[in-house]
Copies of this chain bind each other. A is one copy, B any other.
């Protein structure tokens, strides 16, 4: 390559040197005839100087923002230095300047700060990605991916590819389908995960597999979901739960050290699913702050309080310090209700006084018995366990954000363990797999005789209130796998058609195996400190699964549909 330097490299040591640079005109100024051009590439900015009389002065006059340039010149010391960039002490006095490409005025400003709406940013994603802050997200994603991969390769994992054109096995989320042209009326499906393939790699004896795998779910999108997403898919043979957890901890500890220079403590904390629900109200507790949920059910048993009448449970959290106005209390009540809570009550203790909606129902002993300290506010929610949990969980996070209880740049990892194997859907009168139907039960005889109480060899890894990965030891016995499908209500025919080959595969000597999948997009999001998953995906879809840049999905030629022998319409 003919260029001599990137635009972050030149400094006082290069003075007098002839250099050859290229990049984009980030800013052009004409100060009393002196033309200054900030030349930007992916690494940084170098200031070019073109004086009147320069043979390329006319060229320089034509340069506008975002023109692509190459320039030769001599490094000289700047008069007014800029200490905010590495090249701020020098500038390059141009001897040759060429415009490689001109540019119209871009529809969004190419700078870290933008007031462009997300719609505009996505439509002109190629310009949005030109903003240094966005480039940094992508570069960090690259670096994180390399770091994760290098740990796994070092540990003897093989990176093996699995098909994107797979088979539809609707259990869980909706599949994206791909009509087959050669067999009209039949379809491939895009994989929701390489789950079956990676287990087959274990059957095949590869022992340690991973893949940075693209996965697809045709679900209604939430803020942190995309129709396609990337997971670090890991599977190993001859392992138990602890082994898999050690592997994943090793990956995360080394990656956080390499990328963020953060020392993560391992082994990570562990908490049972049940404890997480009781103390944090959800299965992915944010451990960066306390404010645990306490159970006041017994306490209020003997107190006649209409709001709590006939309620299974009363649980609550204590805000140690902070003022919650009447209006704010009403908003918090709304949050409780939105999250399936029945009601919100509060008691505040301050300067010897108890205030709040339910104080009048309690006598002094009862109030004192709550052990509130100066400034404490106790928030109480009555109701069924699940509803109290989900609503207090939401309240806890809301209050933590409002009162700045969450330390920044702190990374609290947690294993959530001891999951139930199944969930029972009252509506449909059947069991669903809490994780997926390949998760091993702790005890197969309980799965057989008392499925409601069957526990799973499953574990989620949680970071700062986000589930960043989930895994399990898998069923490796054909009988147990059949029992599992049976329990899920699949008929013999279902099993045969959907999973026949897989059940078959288990009978030829399947090693015990297990694994985990890390959500790469989420990991990158948390490591780059952004809230929006779209920031860490180069070409994301909108909330409604559209690519507004390319205009996809789009109508196609009739000949294409004819070849596939499909028709559009209800």
Contacts of A567 in B (CB 8 A): 566-569
Q: A4 within 8 Å of B by Cβ?
A: no
Question: Which of A160-168, A310-318, A415-423 is the interface stretch?
Answer: A160-168
Q: A307 within 8 Å of B by Cβ?
A: no
A382 to chain B, nearest CB (A): 39
Residue with the highest number of chain B CB atoms closer than 10 Å, among A67, A187, A189, A569? A187
CB pair B182–A507 under 8 Å, yes or no, is no
Contacts of A68 in B (CB 8 A): 509-512
Q: A153 within 8 Å of B by Cβ?
A: yes
| Chain A interface category by residue count | 35 or more
Contacts of A553 in B (CB 8 A): 165, 167, 178, 180, 183, 186-188
A164-B164, A179-B179 known; A206 vs B508 contact (CB < 8 Å):
no
Query: Of B126, B166, B177, B539, which one neighbours A178 at CB under 8 angstroms?
Result: B177
Query: Of B190, B230, B505, B563, which one neighbours A174 at CB under 8 angstroms?
Result: B563
Q: How far is the CA of A175 from the CA of B181 in the complex (A)?
A: 10
Residue with the highest number of chain B CB atoms closer than 10 Å, among A165, A218, A501, A537? A165
A107 to chain B, nearest CB (A): 8
Query: Of B104, B170, B555, which one neighbours A507 at CB under 8 angstroms?
Result: B104
A537-570 contact mask (Cβ, 8 Å, vs B): 1 or 0: 1110100111101111111110010111111111
Contacts of A179 in B (CB 8 A): 177, 179, 566
Q: How far is the CA of A167 from the CA of B549 in the complex (A)?
A: 10
Query: Of B168, B200, B538, B555, which one neighbours A201 at CB under 8 angstroms?
Result: B538
Q: A256 within 8 Å of B by Cβ?
A: no
A55-80 contact mask (Cβ, 8 Å, vs B): 1 or 0: 00000000000111010000000000
Question: Which of A28-36, A139-147, A434-442 is the interface stretch?
Answer: A139-147
CB pair A167–B565 under 8 Å, yes or no, is no
Closest to A146 in B: B153
CB pair B547–A166 under 8 Å, yes or no, is yes
Q: A203 within 8 Å of B by Cβ?
A: yes
CB pair A186–B555 under 8 Å, yes or no, is yes
Q: How far is the CA of A515 from the CA of B518 in the complex (A)?
A: 32
Contacts of A412 in B (CB 8 A): none
A138-B206, A206-B42, A547-B163 known; A570 vs B565 contact (CB < 8 Å):
yes
Q: A474 within 8 Å of B by Cβ?
A: no
CB pair A476–B101 under 8 Å, yes or no, is yes
Query: Of B24, B547, B557, which one neighbours A509 at CB under 8 angstroms?
Result: B24
Contacts of A431 in B (CB 8 A): none
CB pair A501–B243 under 8 Å, yes or no, is no
Question: Which of A127-135, A284-292, A394-402 is the interface stretch?
Answer: A127-135
Query: Of B538, B549, B569, which one neighbours A565 at CB under 8 angstroms?
Result: B569
Q: A323 within 8 Å of B by Cβ?
A: no
A158-B138, A206-B135, A508-B103 known; A176 vs B176 contact (CB < 8 Å):
no
CB pair B512–A101 under 8 Å, yes or no, is yes
Q: A489 within 8 Å of B by Cβ?
A: no
A158-B139, A203-B126, A562-B570 known; A3 vs B189 contact (CB < 8 Å):
no
CB pair A185–B509 under 8 Å, yes or no, is no
CB pair B168–A560 under 8 Å, yes or no, is yes
Name A493-538 residues within 8 Å CB distance of B: 497, 500-501, 505, 507-512, 537-538
Q: How far is the CA of A139 from the CA of B567 in the complex (A)?
A: 44
CB pair B551–A127 under 8 Å, yes or no, is no
CB pair A135–B22 under 8 Å, yes or no, is no
A201 to chain B, nearest CB (A): 7
A243-B1, A552-B189 known; A541 vs B145 contact (CB < 8 Å):
no
Q: How far is the CA of A7 from the CA of B126 in the complex (A)?
A: 51
Contacts of A165 in B (CB 8 A): 176, 216, 227-228, 541, 547, 552-553
Query: Of B24, B162, B564, which one neighbours A538 at CB under 8 angstroms?
Result: B162
CB pair A508–B106 under 8 Å, yes or no, is yes
Q: A41 within 8 Å of B by Cβ?
A: yes
Q: How far is the CA of A176 from the CA of B186 in the complex (A)?
A: 13
Q: A477 within 8 Å of B by Cβ?
A: yes
Contacts of A159 in B (CB 8 A): 142, 145-146
Q: How far is the CA of A228 from the CA of B163 in the complex (A)?
A: 8
Q: How far is the CA of A153 from the CA of B557 in the complex (A)?
A: 40
A505 to chain B, nearest CB (A): 5
Contacts of A142 in B (CB 8 A): 158-160
Name A100-135 residues within 8 Å CB distance of B: 100-104, 106, 123-130, 135
Between A and B, 7 residue pairs with Cβ closer than 8 Å are A22-B238, A104-B507, A177-B179, A178-B178, A497-B554, A501-B551, A565-B570
Chain A interface residues (CB < 8 Å from chain B): 1, 3, 22, 24-25, 40-42, 66-68, 70, 100-104, 106, 123-130, 135, 138-139, 141-142, 145-146, 153, 158-168, 170, 174-190, 196-197, 200-201, 203-207, 214, 216, 218, 227-228, 230, 238-239, 243, 476-477, 497, 500-501, 505, 507-512, 537-539, 541, 544-547, 549-557, 560, 562-570
Q: Apart from A22-B238, A566-B568, what are 7 other A-B pairs with CB-CB below 8 Å?
A: A24-B511, A103-B509, A126-B204, A129-B205, A214-B214, A565-B568, A567-B567
